[in-house]
Amino acid sequence: NDMIGNLLSRQNDVVREYVWHIFLVGMAMSYFEVFYAWARIQMKSMFGNFMKEIFCRVGQTVLLLLLYFKLIDISFFINALVGFYIARTLIMKLYSYSLRSPKLDFHFPNNWRNIVKYSALIILGGSTAIVLMEVDKVMLNNFLELENVAFYAVAGFIASTIAVPSKAMHQITYPLTANYLNGRDKPALAQLYQKSSLTLFIVSGILFLLILLNLNELYELLPHKYAGGFMIVFWVGLAKVYDALLGNNNAILFNSDFYRSILFFGVLLAVLAILFNLWLIPNYGINGAAIASFSAFFIYNSLKLGYVKAKFQMQPFTHETIKVLLLLIIIAVIFSTFSFSFHPLVNIALKSILMIALYVGVLYRFKISEDVYAFLNKYLKI
């Protein structure tokens, strides 16, 4: 406890007293995932998804409002936040056990060695992903004043919304990818690879531009001290767009016999991310952390892209990918040259409507994506 506390509080001493909270939240999050997985095995994922994505966020919002109106202090806020994570785990446990009560068996299964090996690799891969996503915030705390972590986190959160469509699509592409791999249906797998890449690039690309070109107006609605996050949003957002551009690349790797290699790639890249942060944060501050994150993800994703190309002889890019890229560049140039003089909210709404109208109109007129064209025909009745 003392060693970790000293490590985390070199720059901000207030962090030392909350080390035990890390342990409690970590245990609560771990066991929540166990009970959530237990419910998913019973084909019941909706309640667990609500608890995972919504429950604690609602709790945080309520606590932040209470903190804003000075009805609670920081210490109570953090303790209550830990309480929400623990309560979420207990609720999920009761729900999952209501679906099917577990029967404890203290004997090892016959294939326990395979289970341990696979679990160790998955833990390694999951740890790598967490390091790549969170190491910048931890290292910022060690080099800069604590408020900089808040500025960085807000900007990073804004950029992370670009990844929301990818998460939704991966729920569909993961089982499809596994099915094609098991059936050795390489043509269908290649088609899914390219279609998922193009669709996610279309959606994430316009989200990236909507956020970036409306960022000045958005920061006008926030306290002035948060306004220096443009470059953070740019670099973190660009990394999210590159993630989307890879389509179901992760699903191909983790459902194939090559998952071991890519997990070790991830470990090397986690080390590289730490080295990038050690180099860039002292020289460029919070912008350096964003550049370090982008650099690590760029190398990591490029390795995965090359690995799939080498092992499966397929890649996600098509001529339509270039067309979408050119369209995004044109929209960026057009809408970055002017701004409206209305209230920031009106400016955001007006610019967003015009950008989306132009973007969707071109996509539909030239049928750049079959899937997007079919969606527009079916739901928008153009």
- The mean pLDDT value of the chain amounts to 87
Evaluate if residue 13 carries a pLDDT over 90: no
CA–CA separation, 312 and 186 (whole Å): 8
Q: Within 10 A of 205 (CB to CB), how many other CB atoms are there? A: 22
Residues 242 and 162 in one domain: yes
Residue 111 lies in a domain: no
Query: Is there a contact between 273 and 135 (Cβ–Cβ < 8 Å)?
Result: yes
The confidence score (pLDDT) of residue 73 equals 92
- For the chain, what percent of residues have pLDDT higher than 70? 95
Centroid of chain to Cα 5? 28
Over residues 126-164, the pLDDT tens digits come to 777 677 667 777 777 777 777 777 788 888 888 888 888
Tokens linked to 344:
């920031």
Query: Is there a contact between 331 and 209 (Cβ–Cβ < 8 Å)?
Result: yes
Residue 110 lies in a domain: no
Containing structural domain, residue 230: 121-382
The confidence score (pLDDT) of residue 332 equals 95
Q: List Cα–Cα distances, 54 to 26, 344, 376, in angstroms.
A: 18, 28, 29
Residues 181 and 58 in one domain: no
Q: List Cα–Cα distances, 260 to 111, 246, 296, in angstroms.
A: 19, 19, 20
Residue 193 lies in a domain: yes
Centroid of chain to Cα 367? 29
Over residues 244-274, the pLDDT tens digits come to 999 999 889 888 888 777 777 778 788 888 8
CA–CA separation, 212 and 238 (whole Å): 10
Number of domains in the chain: 2
Residues 99 and 146 in one domain: no
| 10 contact partners, CB below 8 Å, separation of at least 6 | 142
The confidence score (pLDDT) of residue 200 equals 94
Residues 139 and 243 in one domain: yes
What torsion do the CA atoms of 219, 220, 226, 229 make, to the nearest 10 degrees? 30
Evaluate if residue 4 carries a pLDDT over 80: no
Q: List Cα–Cα distances, 87 to 18, 82, 94, 258, 311, in angstroms.
A: 19, 9, 11, 38, 45
Residue 345 lies in a domain: yes
Residues 144 and 49 in one domain: no
Residue 326 lies in a domain: yes
Residues 268 and 332 in one domain: yes
Query: Regarding predicted confidence, which is higher, 339 or 239?
Result: 239
Tokens linked to 93:
């446990």
Q: For residue 200, with 0-12 CB atoms within 10 Å meaning exposed, 13-18 middle and 19 or more buried, which class applies?
A: buried
pLDDT-derived band at 235, boundaries 50, 70, 90: very high
Over residues 304-359, the pLDDT tens digits come to 999 999 999 999 999 999 999 999 999 999 998 877 888 889 999 999 999 999 99
Residues 86 and 126 in one domain: no
Residue 373 lies in a domain: yes
Domain stop point among 104, 139, 160: 104
Query: Is there a contact between 372 and 202 (Cβ–Cβ < 8 Å)?
Result: yes
Domain stop point among 104, 139, 174: 104
The confidence score (pLDDT) of residue 98 equals 95
Over residues 208-233, the pLDDT tens digits come to 999 999 988 888 887 777 767 888 89
Residues 200 and 340 in one domain: yes
Helices 146-160 and 230-245 meet at what angle, rounded to 10? 40
CA–CA separation, 81 and 59 (whole Å): 7
Q: Within 10 A of 274 (CB to CB), how many other CB atoms are there? A: 18
Evaluate if residue 9 carries a pLDDT over 70: no
CA–CA separation, 49 and 56 (whole Å): 12
Tokens linked to 306:
């090359």
Evaluate if residue 97 carries a pLDDT over 90: yes
Residues 92 and 165 in one domain: no
- pTM to 2 decimal places: 0.78
Residues 127 and 215 in one domain: yes
CA–CA separation, 248 and 2 (whole Å): 43
Evaluate if residue 21 carries a pLDDT over 60: yes
Amino acid (1-letter code) at residue 211: I
Query: Is there a contact between 239 and 293 (Cβ–Cβ < 8 Å)?
Result: yes
Evaluate if residue 23 carries a pLDDT over 80: yes
Residues 96 and 210 in one domain: no
Alpha-helical segments (H) within the chain: 2-8, 19-41, 46-50, 56-68, 74-99, 112-143, 146-160, 164-182, 186-213, 215-220, 230-245, 249-254, 259-312, 319-336, 344-366, 370-375
Residue 34 lies in a domain: yes
Tokens linked to 141:
């705390």
Residue 27 lies in a domain: yes
Residues 9 and 152 in one domain: no
Domain stop point among 104, 134, 151: 104
